[in-house]
């Protein structure tokens, strides 16, 4: 395989590889390789659609966070993408884990992840979620509503002790879309400072001998590309910690600032500067605590998308090309069942023809899925070669986060497989969901 290494450009809308994994190389025949593996070969071996995950990119991004936050506890947000291999990579790179269900928790623990390094989230934890957390010895449980206080205390029982945090709504609006802004009033997560519910819940937790309150938690939103909202939230959280000290006589040792770190999905888009975030958060934390006369708590952060998002590539095969008026529709063999994010959040991607060289002039096209929905659009208004045809391969970068994890069984097409590439080798992590898998779940007559 002949390759030519493409340097990662700093910026520029023409530099399409700027949002691809760092290992991406251009091949002589017009294809692309990631992790030393031709994406067309992955498609031939495992079929399409297929997700390709660059192990080296995941590990390097874990290290970037560890280097940027050496004094903090970095927890990978499993909701972005989770598999047994991902659990191993995160563990070996020294990160903790943030999970949202018994399913995520038990997969992680059975794959060898230490339960004491896991934090359980969720605005509506089921009895099974809490039972699993206590049985397996999860490190912390984040309390999201007043009713959970008594439930967790009762489940722990007399003589037991469970570390918990309280999720607080700091009143900060941030995030790439209304549906992923979680730091403001009037949404389902956390307890409000403004109406006093957070302070009341904290006092109740401190009165429960079965619960050990280690700190406060907030998560202001997702796909945030600037540092300022985090600094505003941090100041408000430190202010609340100071009031807890003054009213309850308790100095909390931990502060979890959540995640939501934005990444670029298309060339030229902004991404959060993790190094700048770490530097400014630390400075603000030290300054705010000094002003309040408090010791500096240990910081926790929860990146998910920022670690796995840019490490993934989705590869589809073109099934049909249709000219409708002035619009060219390029229909592929996947769609909203394997990536609902464009329909949910209006996310825009930068797909590219791979596997062959085209001399045709580019033209604007809309890449659509195979499902029975007008909203099944993967990428609208993108530039593709004018001779794109059925059988071609289309690759979509920045596909590692919230695609496999949000995939559905719509139209019973089956969820795609996930293959890992690393140092010229490819291996299957998650197999394709088959029609037989779907039939086995249907046990009625």
SS3 at position 192:
strand
Residue at which a domain ends, from 308, 329, 354: 308
81 lies in some domain: yes
Share above pLDDT 70 across residues of the chain, in percent, rounded to a whole number: 93
As annotated, the active-site residues are 372
pLDDT of 184: 52
Q: Which of 280, 308, 336 is the last residue of a domain?
A: 308
The predicted-structure confidence for 394-441, as pLDDT tens digits, reads as follows: 999 999 999 999 999 999 999 999 999 999 999 999 999 999 999 999
pLDDT, residue 229, reads 93
Q: How far apart are CA 87 and CA 430, in angstroms?
A: 13
CA distance between the termini of the chain: 53
Band (78; pLDDT cuts 50, 70, 90):
very high
Domain count, the chain: 2
Run of H or E including 277? helix 274-292
Asked if residue 346 has pLDDT above 90, the reply is no
Strand 191-192 and strand 211-217: the pairing is unpaired
The sheet carrying 32-34 orders its strands as: 3-5, 25-27, 32-34, 37-38
Instruction: Please give the structure tokens belonging to residue 193.
Output: 């400072």
Give the mean model confidence (pLDDT) for residues 9-20. 64
Q: Are 331 and 369 in contact (CB under 8 A)?
A: yes
Residue 396 covered by a domain: yes
Asked if residue 445 belongs to a domain, the reply is no
**Cα 168–116–303 angle (5° rounding)?**
50
Locus of tokens 């293959």: 419
Q: What does the alpha-carbon distance between residue 89 and residue 78 come to, in Å, rounded to a whole number?
A: 12
Residues 22, 111: one domain?
no
253 assigned to some structural domain: yes
| In a shared domain, residues 399 and 416 | yes
- Lowest model confidence (mean pLDDT) among 48-57, 75-84, 137-146, 180-189: 180-189
Q: Average of pLDDT values for 56-71?
A: 98
Q: Is pLDDT of 2 > 50?
A: no
174: left (phi over 0), alpha (psi -120 to 50) or beta: beta
Mean pLDDT for the chain overall: 92
Residues 185, 194: contact at Cβ < 8 Å? yes
For residue 435, count CB atoms less than 10 angstroms from its CB and return exposed for 0-12, middle for 13-18, buried for 19 or more. exposed
User: Is 71:281 a contact under the CB 8 Å cutoff?
Assistant: no
Looking at residue 8, its pLDDT comes to: 43
231 within a domain of the structure (yes/no): yes
Q: Which residues of 65-102 are buried (b: 16+ CB within 10 A; e: fewer)?
A: beebbeebbbbbbbbbbbbebbbebbbebebbbbbbbb
CA distance 164 to 30: 53
Are 38 and 50 in the same domain?
yes
For 188, other C-beta atoms within 10 Å of its C-beta total 9
Contact by Cβ (8 Å): 256, 217 = yes
Instruction: Work out the number of other CB atoms within 10 angstroms of the CB of residue 234.
Output: 23
In the prediction, which pLDDT does 325 show? Answer: 87
List, for residues 110-146, the tens digit of each pLDDT value. 999 999 999 999 999 999 999 999 999 999 999 999 9
CATH value at residue 226 = 3.20.20.10
What is the mean pLDDT of the segment spanning 50-75?
A: 98
Does residue 49 have a cis bond before it (omega within 30 degrees)? yes
Percent of the chain surpassing pLDDT 90: 87
Q: 334, 311, 320: which is closest to 399 by C-alpha?
A: 311
- Residues 163 and 185 reside in one and the same domain: yes
Chain Cα centroid distance, residue 70 = 21
Domain that holds residue 276: 55-308
Indicate whether 9 pLDDT > 60: no
Point out the domain boundary residue: 308, 328, 356. 308
Per the CB < 8 A criterion, the answer to whether 255 and 285 are in contact is yes
Predicted confidence (pLDDT) per residue in 186-236, tens digit: 667 789 888 899 999 999 999 999 999 999 999 998 899 999 999 999 999
- 3-state SS, residue 327: strand
Q: pTM (2 decimals)?
A: 0.92
Asked if 66 and 167 sit in the same domain, the reply is yes
Give the SS3 label for residue 385: strand
Interatomic CA distance for residues 223 and 353, integer angstroms: 27
């Amino acid at each position: 395989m002949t390759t030519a290494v493409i340097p990662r450009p700093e910026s520029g809308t023409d530099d399409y590889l700027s949002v691809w994994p760092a290992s991406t190389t251009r091949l002589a025949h017009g294809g692309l390789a990631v992790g030393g593996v031709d994406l067309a070969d992955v498609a031939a071996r495992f079929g399409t659609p297929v997700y390709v995950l660059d192990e080296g990119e995941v590990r390097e991004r874990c290290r970037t966070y560890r280097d940027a936050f050496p004094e903090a506890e970095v927890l990978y947000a499993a909701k972005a993408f989770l598999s047994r291999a991902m659990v191993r990579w995160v563990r070996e790179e020294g990160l903790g884990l943030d999970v949202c269900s018994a399913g995520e928790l038990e997969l992680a623990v059975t794959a060898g992840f230490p339960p004491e390094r896991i934090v359980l989230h969720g605005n509506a934890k089921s009895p099974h979620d809490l039972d699993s957390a206590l049985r397996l010895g999860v490190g912390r449980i984040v309390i999201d509503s007043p009713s959970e206080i008594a439930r967790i205390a009762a489940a722990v029982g007399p003589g037991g002790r469970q570390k918990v945090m309280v999720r607080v709504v700091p009143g900060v609006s941030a995030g790439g879309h209304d549906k992923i802004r979680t730091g403001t009033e009037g949404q389902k997560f956390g307890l409000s400072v403004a109406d006093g519910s957070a302070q009341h819940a904290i006092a109740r937790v401190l009165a429960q001998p079965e619960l050990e309150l280690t700190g406060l938690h907030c998560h202001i939103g997702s796909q945030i590309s600037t540092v300022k909202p985090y600094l505003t939230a941090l100041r408000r959280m430190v202010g609340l910690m100071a009031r807890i000290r003054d009213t309850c006589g308790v100095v909390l040792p931990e502060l979890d600032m959540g995640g939501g770190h934005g990444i670029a999905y298309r060339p030229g888009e902004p991404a959060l500067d993790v190094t700048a975030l770490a530097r400014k958060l630390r400075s603000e934390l030290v300054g705010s605590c000094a002003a309040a006369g408090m010791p500096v708590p240990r910081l926790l952060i929860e990146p998910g998308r920022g670690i796995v998002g840019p490490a993934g590539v989705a590869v589809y095969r073109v099934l049909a090309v249709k000219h409708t008026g002035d619009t060219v529709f390029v229909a592929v063999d996947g769609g909203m069942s394997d990536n609902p994010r464009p329909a949910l959040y209006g996310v825009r991607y930068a797909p590219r023809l791979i596997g062959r060289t085209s001399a045709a002039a580019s033209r604007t096209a809309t890449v659509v899925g195979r499902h029975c929905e007008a909203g099944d659009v993967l990428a609208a208004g993108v530039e593709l070669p004018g001779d794109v045809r059925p059988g071609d391969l289309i690759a979509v970068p920045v596909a590692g986060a919230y695609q496999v994890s949000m995939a559905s069984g719509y139209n019973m097409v089956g969820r795609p497989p996930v293959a890992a590439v690393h140092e010229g080798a490819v291996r299957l992590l998650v197999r394709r969901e088959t029609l037989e898998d779907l039939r086995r779940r249907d046990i009625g007559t």
